[in-house]
Amino acid sequence: MERKNAALVVGLGLGVGALIYGLANVKAKPPDGEPPEEPPPGFATLYGVVTSDFNNKPISGVMVSYGDEVSTLTDTNGYYELTNLSPGEYVIIFTCDSYQERQIPITVVAGKNELNISLVPIGEIIYEIHCFDEPQPLGATKGLLVEITNTYTHAVTETVTMTGDFGYQERTVTIGPGKEVGTGFTFHFDTPGTFTVFISGTSFAGASCTFTVAEELGGEVIGMSVAPQVQEPGKTVTVTVRVQNRNWYQDIDYDVVLTGAVSMSQTVTIRAHEILDANLNVTVNWEGYEKIYCEGYSVTVKGEPIYHGTPPPGSYICPVCSERFDSSPELGIHLGMIHLGIPYPEGTINEGSYAGMASNLIAYAPGGIEENAEGYALAQWAMGNICSGDILHKNLTLSKKWSLVSELNKIMIANGVDPGDAGQWANSIVFGSKYLIAYWLRWAKPSELKAFAQSL
On the question of pLDDT at 1 being above 50, the answer is no
- pLDDT band at 213, cuts 50/70/90? very high
In a domain, 143, yes or no: yes
Where is the domain boundary, 56, 85, 119? 119
In a domain, 251, yes or no: yes
pLDDT at residue number 400: 59
- How far is residue 433's CA from residue 133's CA, in Å, rounded to a whole number? 47
- pLDDT band at 348, cuts 50/70/90? low
Contact 174, 253 (CB under 8 A): no
Same domain, residue pair 112 and 132 = no
Instruction: Give 96 or 417, the one with higher predicted confidence.
Output: 96
- Min mean pLDDT across 59-73, 102-116, 272-286 is at 59-73
In a domain, 146, yes or no: yes
pLDDT at residue number 133: 86
- pLDDT band at 410, cuts 50/70/90? low
Contact 133, 144 (CB under 8 A): no
User: What are the φ/ψ torsions at residue 26 (nearest 5 degrees)?
Assistant: -120, 130
pTM of the model: 0.49
- pLDDT band at 168, cuts 50/70/90? very high
Share of the chain above pLDDT 70, in %: 69
pLDDT at residue number 30: 57
Same domain, residue pair 247 and 295 = yes
How many structural domains comprise the chain?
Answer: 4
Same domain, residue pair 113 and 160 = no
pLDDT at residue number 307: 77
Same domain, residue pair 57 and 81 = yes
pLDDT at residue number 271: 92
Where is the domain boundary, 64, 91, 119? 119
Question: How long a stretch of residues is the chain?
Answer: 456
Instruction: Give the CATH number, domain containing residue 151.
Output: 2.60.40.10
User: Counting Cβ atoms within 10 Å, is residue 333 exposed (0-12), middle (13-18) or buried (19+)?
Assistant: buried
User: What are the φ/ψ torsions at residue 154 (nearest 5 degrees)?
Assistant: -130, 160
- How far is residue 100's CA from residue 205's CA, in Å, rounded to a whole number? 23
In a domain, 309, yes or no: no
pLDDT at residue number 332: 83
Share of the chain above pLDDT 90, in %: 39
pLDDT at residue number 36: 84
pLDDT at residue number 320: 77
SS (H, E, C) the chain: CCEEEEEECCCCCCCCCCCCCCCCCCCCCCCCCCCCCCCCCCCEEEEEEEEECCCCCECCCCEEEECCCEEEECCCCCEEEEEEECCEEEEEEEECCCECCEEEEEEECCEEEECCEEECECCCEEEEEECCCCCEECCCEEEEEEEEEECCCCCEEEEEEEEECCCCEEEEEEECCCCEEEEEEEEECCCCEEEEEEEEECCEEEEEEEEEEECCCCEEEEEEEEECCEECCCCEEEEEEEEEECCCCCCEEEEEEEEECCCEEEEEEECCCCEEEEEEEEECCCCEEEEEEECCEEEEEEECCCCCCCCCCCCEECCCCCCEECCHHHHHHHHHHHHCCCCCCCCCCCHHHHHHHHHHHHHHCCCCCCCCHHHHHHHHHHHHHHHHCCCCHHHCCHHHHHHHHHHHHHHHHHCCCCHHHHHHHHHHHHHHCCCHHHHHHHHCCHHHHHHHHHHC
- Min mean pLDDT across 12-21, 34-43, 118-127, 178-187 is at 12-21
When pLDDT is averaged across residues 324-340 and rounded to a whole number, the result is 84
pLDDT at residue number 73: 92
pLDDT at residue number 396: 52
Q: What is the mean pLDDT of the chain?
A: 77
- Min mean pLDDT across 71-80, 109-118, 331-340, 345-354 is at 345-354
pLDDT at residue number 325: 87
In a domain, 293, yes or no: yes
In a domain, 23, yes or no: yes
pLDDT at residue number 448: 53
Instruction: Give 183 or 248, the one with higher predicted confidence.
Output: 183
Same domain, residue pair 298 and 255 = yes
pLDDT at residue number 230: 80
Same domain, residue pair 44 and 96 = yes
On the question of pLDDT at 31 being above 50, the answer is yes
User: Counting Cβ atoms within 10 Å, is residue 213 exposed (0-12), middle (13-18) or buried (19+)?
Assistant: buried
Q: Which domain, by its residues, includes 391?
A: 316-455
Same domain, residue pair 321 and 297 = no
Q: Report the sign of the C-alpha dihedral through residues 286, 332, 418, 455, in that order.
A: negative
Same domain, residue pair 334 and 427 = yes
- pLDDT band at 347, cuts 50/70/90? low
- pLDDT band at 428, cuts 50/70/90? very low
Contact 226, 238 (CB under 8 A): yes
Amino acid at 131: C
221, β-bridge pairs: 243
Same domain, residue pair 152 and 183 = yes
In a domain, 252, yes or no: yes
pLDDT at residue number 106: 93
- pLDDT band at 388, cuts 50/70/90? low
Same domain, residue pair 373 and 297 = no
Same domain, residue pair 170 and 207 = yes
- Min mean pLDDT across 33-47, 49-63, 203-217, 442-456 is at 442-456
**Distance from the first to the final alpha carbon of the chain:** 80
User: What are the φ/ψ torsions at residue 415 (nearest 5 degrees)?
Assistant: -105, 20
Contact 271, 251 (CB under 8 A): yes
Instruction: Give 265 or 134, the one with higher predicted confidence.
Output: 265
- pLDDT band at 18, cuts 50/70/90? very low
- pLDDT band at 112, cuts 50/70/90? very high
In a domain, 311, yes or no: no
pLDDT tens digits, one per residue of 190-212: 899 999 999 999 999 999 999 99
pLDDT at residue number 32: 55
On the question of pLDDT at 189 being above 60, the answer is yes
Where is the domain boundary, 268, 303, 338? 303
Same domain, residue pair 209 and 236 = no
When pLDDT is averaged across residues 300-322 and rounded to a whole number, the result is 81
Instruction: Give 192 or 362, the one with higher predicted confidence.
Output: 192
User: Counting Cβ atoms within 10 Å, is residue 30 exposed (0-12), middle (13-18) or buried (19+)?
Assistant: middle
